[in-house]
Structure 1
């Protein structure tokens, strides 16, 4: 799903001599009134954003090659989006959805449903990926309560190891990122279990074919259903392309069909988390459209609003919606700011821009160029273990030993320190760091996920800067 809340080290340089990004355009950690992600870190002071550039208060221009955590999709300062937001604020800045709806919410939801070719039925608009996952979990449970006869015993969920579905307690509970869960385990619900992800680079047994690997994972999921009691499971939850937790890991062909078949065998739902990989990031508006399956429930987020407003959503298929409609006809859930009209205006305009400018074609074409150039320039590097992804969503995994695939120790903060180095004036490029790639604690990767409207010149510049960044970073390292 979404981005990991990274723990920044409050230091000018790390143990390996890599200087973190320092500039006159920083806020002082000692005087700031903000409860920042790290209270001892001086954060860069962003002045404005233009096109694909982030401009600091000291004038430094940083190319946003990751769109934040894969959020930006049409660049920054888009006048169409700004005008749509402004118009809606003047027209109706807020809507209490207990009593009212707005044309802009209706239009956005219609746009989203049509983008699935009518395979999904209704959309529920919230403000973050974590909120979307909380709603999806509750919607799955209520679906079984609304069935006749009611299946009240369905209270369990199965997700995958090294997964990340959000940071609120419910969303964190259905995720499998060990580091993120650790401090809050006593507070989380205990009705979630995990199975292995489809991680071809690290999970496949030597000599195992694609089909054998997929069959083994399907059996593992089937065995988990049997262990828990098939009649107790609400849903299996997975990302079609794993984002922050694994660094853009795609599934093997047939994997999601096999997982869906297991769910159907036992009457459970399939929930696909596309908060990070969806809404065009991988070359189709919905990543599942490349997997040959249709989810029962889907979460969407980052590229839905493109960073212009805080918005995410849940899509449900006809099976789920019709069951609730025939029952209580009311989803027992709600937020003060759900369906916020200004958020909807931004998202609706972004979806129209993607369609008007045929950006899905550009994502696919530039994705081929990006992947090819990354592999050409970095595939031979002794610390680059794997380059994987789809569309404009690419991860680069780092290792200490390429022969054994041994990761760097977690305390080295390789990906984070590299990303911070990238923000210095010499490189001026923004990439997104991730950790826990191997087991939820150890393992490092960065994500390159530029805006959908990047040019071939942009791609070549990104690859050049990332190549220099990685080369220079490891050339200065002295890991013990």
Structure 2
């Protein structure tokens, strides 16, 4: 899935990770994220670095969009892709399967310790969310008795679930929705995100906060008519829309209880936070809750192929098995053999080399160093995350948590500061952190095989870029 949108001074929606920091008039016939400006071209990439056509080497502290979980240029993955190309590059899933697809599905289901029943492989997180919405609807049509009145979904504010019209309808990111609002689905409503930094009231305990959010969800079910709701959809750790915000303890258990009360499905969007990124293979492992459907992507294939998917629980598969036995959905490139081979090798490397555990351990180092170096900075409001997935929320006033004016474009400007040769680091920017419109954050999402020395270098450069950036502005 794409990151949160940034509206630049020309009032054009662009994607931060691919917006060039050089204002050079483009002569390209390729439609880039901004038609008048072209990004710097990557000519080589190895390990934690990407090399630009200018010769500059950038420390990729974000894995692109939290994608490159093994870093760049992994030889094993390249060899696996070549072997698959020698066997078969493409086969139509309407007629045929592939050994790579079968092996990947087994690897993924085994990775859930039997909690999930089947895997469904597509090309992007947005496609995964589209498939999830259709699968949830079909589940209730095939239940005994059928429940055709279930057409609604409840998601959360300040969320991001994809850029296609269905995924964007599910999303609560105001900036990305704005241009297309009249075209979006009307059967998705939203409740508050679980964001302790912004959402907890003064003096409110975690238990009280969870109870309040659970009641809000319950009230929304009642408002819609409990019998009309297909699913509650949420990111276990909110990525681009909020900047690596994990739920407080007990939150998802309370949300599941509400879903169970009304017979709705629980869907976790782990496209950004899953497949090891949060320090466990699946982010839900830290919540004590297993979703009915989980979307996965980014870290699934590590950027070596366009691949994402669904992990589907036994409850859903059992109903389809007793019903039509067929998911009424499909894509030309679903289960693409080369994508499956790439993802399979990535997942085998992650498992064989203990990289999820390394992500957890290095995440603790990253948290410690970030907080030691940046907690006292007057424009750093909050540092939060899990595993190798950390966000830094930037504020005008630390005491009041006042955000910057969106017109200042702080997150994008800091990203551009990081790309300057003296810093040469990629910092992943996001906006709308407070209410979908105001608020700025940056994220860090290093490769799972990162070392302590790598973490120290990342923190050094991040700190230097932030200090340099704010020293040049009169915000404190």
Q: Tell me the CA shift for residue 366 of structure 1.
A: 0.6
Task: Report if aligned partners of 1:423, 1:429 keep a CA contact under 8 Å in 2.
Answer: yes
1:171, 1:377 → 2: CA distance?
Answer: 37
TM-score in terms of structure 1 length: 0.96
1:468, 1:422 → 2: CA distance?
Answer: 9
**Of 151, 156, 160, which aligns to 1:155?**
151
2:351, 2:2 → 1: CA distance?
Answer: 24
The aligned residue for residue 339 of structure 1 is 335
1:29, 1:325 → 2: CA distance?
Answer: 56
Q: Tell me the CA shift for residue 345 of structure 1.
A: 0.5
Moved over 6 A (4+): none
Q: Give CA-to-partner distance per residue, 1:269-306, whole Å, 9 cap, x none.
A: 00000000000001111000110000000000000000
1:357, 1:30 → 2: CA distance?
Answer: 43
Asked whether 1:186 is paired with 2:182, we answer: yes
The aligned residue for residue 206 of structure 2 is 210
The aligned residue for residue 220 of structure 1 is 216
TM-score in terms of structure 2 length: 0.96
SS in 2 for 1:189: coil
Asked whether 1:69 is paired with 2:65, we answer: yes
The aligned residue for residue 129 of structure 1 is 125
Q: Give CA-to-partner distance per residue, 1:217-243, whole Å, 9 cap, x none.
A: 000000000011000000000000000
Structure 1 spans left out of the alignment, 5+ residues: 12-19
2:201, 2:174 → 1: CA distance?
Answer: 23
1:29, 1:169 → 2: CA distance?
Answer: 31
Q: Tell me the CA shift for residue 30 of structure 1.
A: 3.0
The aligned residue for residue 4 of structure 2 is 4
Task: Report if aligned partners of 2:6, 2:175 keep a CA contact under 8 Å in 1.
Answer: no
Q: Tell me the CA shift for residue 5 of structure 1.
A: 4.5
Task: Report if aligned partners of 2:425, 2:461 keep a CA contact under 8 Å in 1.
Answer: yes
1:30, 1:460 → 2: CA distance?
Answer: 37
1:420, 1:285 → 2: CA distance?
Answer: 32
The aligned residue for residue 85 of structure 1 is 81
Q: Tell me the CA shift for residue 7 of structure 1.
A: 4.6
Distance of aligned partners of 1:426 and 1:440 in 2 relative to their CA distance in 1, 3 Å threshold:
same
Task: Report if aligned partners of 1:8, 1:41 keep a CA contact under 8 Å in 2.
Answer: no
1:258, 1:461 → 2: CA distance?
Answer: 40
Distance of aligned partners of 1:8 and 1:45 in 2 relative to their CA distance in 1, 3 Å threshold:
farther
Task: Give the count of matched residue pairs.
Answer: 468
Task: Report if aligned partners of 2:32, 2:38 keep a CA contact under 8 Å in 1.
Answer: no
Task: Report if aligned partners of 1:8, 1:38 keep a CA contact under 8 Å in 2.
Answer: no
Q: How does 1:161-200 map to 2 (within 5 A)?
A: 161-200=157-196
2:31, 2:8 → 1: CA distance?
Answer: 13
2:473, 2:261 → 1: CA distance?
Answer: 51
Task: Report if aligned partners of 1:10, 1:42 keep a CA contact under 8 Å in 2.
Answer: no
SS in 2 for 1:184: helix
SS in 1 for 2:397: coil
SS in 1 for 2:263: coil
Asked whether 1:397 is paired with 2:389, we answer: no
1:42, 1:408 → 2: CA distance?
Answer: 27
Q: Tell me the CA shift for residue 6 of structure 1.
A: 4.2
The aligned residue for residue 419 of structure 1 is 415
Q: Tell me the CA shift for residue 421 of structure 1.
A: 1.4
**Of 439, 442, 445, which aligns to 2:441?**
445
Q: Tell me the CA shift for residue 359 of structure 1.
A: 0.6
CA RMSD in angstroms comes to 1.4
